[in-house]
Amino acid sequence: MDVIAIEVCRTNQNFNDKRSRYQPAAGNVNVTLPLAWLNSNVTIQKGRVERYWKASRWFNTAPVADVRLTIRHLRALFVLTDTDYANFGANHLPAGHEYFCRHRDLSQITHQDMQRFVKGMALMNHFKRRP
């Protein structure tokens, strides 16, 4: 399972707290998707409502229990205030799994420039040509 976590940070302390959660671990990282959450509704394109399990397109049939998945590729997008974004960019070096944008950039998630940025986080972008 590949994951892009999006963390909206309103203060520098909040950013540092969230950032510490994504430090690389020695071993597998797992996530549990509770059955109740999988069966809850999410609004998708054009206002349609589907169950999370169905909207994800990961499952052929409805799950009957919690689902535990191993994360093989994790990226974290930190959404920072303008001040924190400028300060971090000028004074720190991000880890390989970390990406950053400003709050106002996230409001334009469907813009082509932002779509290119998000797609750039994909695992296959580590290869010049898809193996």
Domain total in the chain: 1
Mean pLDDT along residues 95-122: 88
The answer to the question of residue 108 being in a domain is yes
pLDDT of amino acid 128? 75
pLDDT of amino acid 58? 87
Q: What type of residue is 16?
A: N
The answer to the question of residue 14 being in a domain is yes
The answer to the question of residue 31 being in a domain is yes
Q: Which domain holds residue 101?
A: 2-126
The answer to the question of residue 110 being in a domain is yes
59's CB contacts (< 8 A; 6+ apart) are 53
The answer to the question of residue 39 being in a domain is yes
The answer to the question of residue 51 being in a domain is yes
Eight-class DSSP state of 34: -
Is the pLDDT confidence value at 26 over 70? no
Is the pLDDT confidence value at 35 over 70? yes
Pick from 5, 59, 64: which is nearest to 34 by CA?
64
Give 50-88 pLDDT, tens digit per residue: 999 999 888 999 999 999 988 888 899 999 999 999 999
Which is it for the CA torsion 20, 21, 23, 25, positive or negative? positive
> What is this structure's pTM?
0.74
The answer to the question of residue 73 being in a domain is yes
The answer to the question of residue 131 being in a domain is no
